[in-house]
Structure 1
Amino acid sequence: MAKVAGLTVRTLHHYDELGLLRPSERTASGHRRYTEPDLRRLYEIRLLRELGLSLEEIGGVLDQPGALRPVLAARVDELDQQVRRINALRRQAETLLSHLDSAGPFATERPMALLGQLSVFGEYLTEEQGRRLDQHGEQLDAEAREWMEGEWPVILAELAEHFRAGTPVDDPAVVRSARRLTTLMETFTGGDAELNAAVAKFFREHGTEVMRSLTGGPDPAFTTGLWDYVSQAYSALG
């Protein structure tokens, strides 16, 4: 049994002592004999261990009829969130690779400068608007926050590449990026009209600096033209 399951005899004895997996039968000499139902239970134990549950948690789940399904469903949701986060990180890595290929190293000063620009955004909010934005942020779950953190630099980098390539603002690929930017902004503000207006004003006045921080473009004409391009793509959605 231990060899077939890839476990040590000591582990099986430990499971028996905990009451987690007791053999259904014993031989005449007193040795443990595991039946097919025992093997199924062992499979469930190993699966739940791989999913991160403790032995105590596993015992509680397996001893309560119907308890396994909600535990597995919750774990699947957690794994889905991890997959989305990994995908967001992968997109960011691809963006950095794109910068290495087209614009040289993505220096540390770029994200730091970008954070400096975004910190100015608070100056565009009244005290009440700042409170509303904080309240909305608290209502967002971890998945939404991770998605926003991973999505906005990717979208802006995509638009920068479209601008660099001279892609028309009504091109389907540009429209898709602009729509994602709209969704991102709506998620950030919760659809609050006053907050949307504050975001728009901030980017009208600081969009060029934000794009320069993101792209590291040494040419002011490039980053100025880039923000105009982003604005046109955003406005083209109507």
Structure 2
Amino acid sequence: MTERTQAMTAWTVGKVADTFGVTVRTLHHYDEIGLLTPSERSPAGYRLYTQEDLTRLQQIVVYRRLELPLEEIAALLDDGENAADHLRRQRATVMSRLDELRELVEAIDLALEKEMSNEKMTDDEMRQLFGDAFDESYAEEAQQRWGETDAWKQSQERTAKYTKADWQQVKAEGDAVNEAFAAAMDAGEPATSERAMDAAELHRQSIERFYDCGYDMQRNLADMYVGDERFTAYYDAVRPGMAQYVRDAIHANADRRS
């Protein structure tokens, strides 16, 4: 293949990044972990992406927008399915998400309606907004374990005044914290990195919606995330190994603040 022909059929890292809105850093990370490795090289030794590579990138981008972890994406792409099969799978997943999002929009609309009339949320409405993350048994257990502590009393006083809009904001902040940790993990950042520790600080600030949360208190919470299988399952459902990552990032952030 001549250099001119190769240039017509293959793309440099920079061109792929500029054209498709994927950062060079992300492409390098995908290459490092073997998720997407450029198939060709230019005469000067630069790595080049073929059309087949770009098809794989398209599949990766869609799966990432569906919030699948990179390890799961790699397994899906290496299982022998062709591009059409992946597109069918992705379409089915998006359609199921649309149903879920429609229900969420209805819950938000209801929350907005109640907020305008200054009504409080019922348990059923909380469950509709928070989905599987809302479990009354957690609240009952928490009261049994910490009902006599200042933090519990402070939390009860603050949340007693919360409207539906406040709870909606709580959920949005929690999702943002998880996304920050997930983004740091996906970028290959260690739990001791600035990015991971910044996510840990966001976590602490989100807790302070309920009660004053110093770094020692946050450390205790972090240890519970790996010590209680329910919390571990919650975080690991976002990204495999995320509970341990969150715990380590919180401890690292507390260390740098002390």
Shorter-chain-normalised TM-score: which range? 0.3 to 0.5
Q: Please, what TM-score do these two structures have when normalized by structure 2?
A: 0.39
Q: Please, what TM-score do these two structures have when normalized by structure 1?
A: 0.41
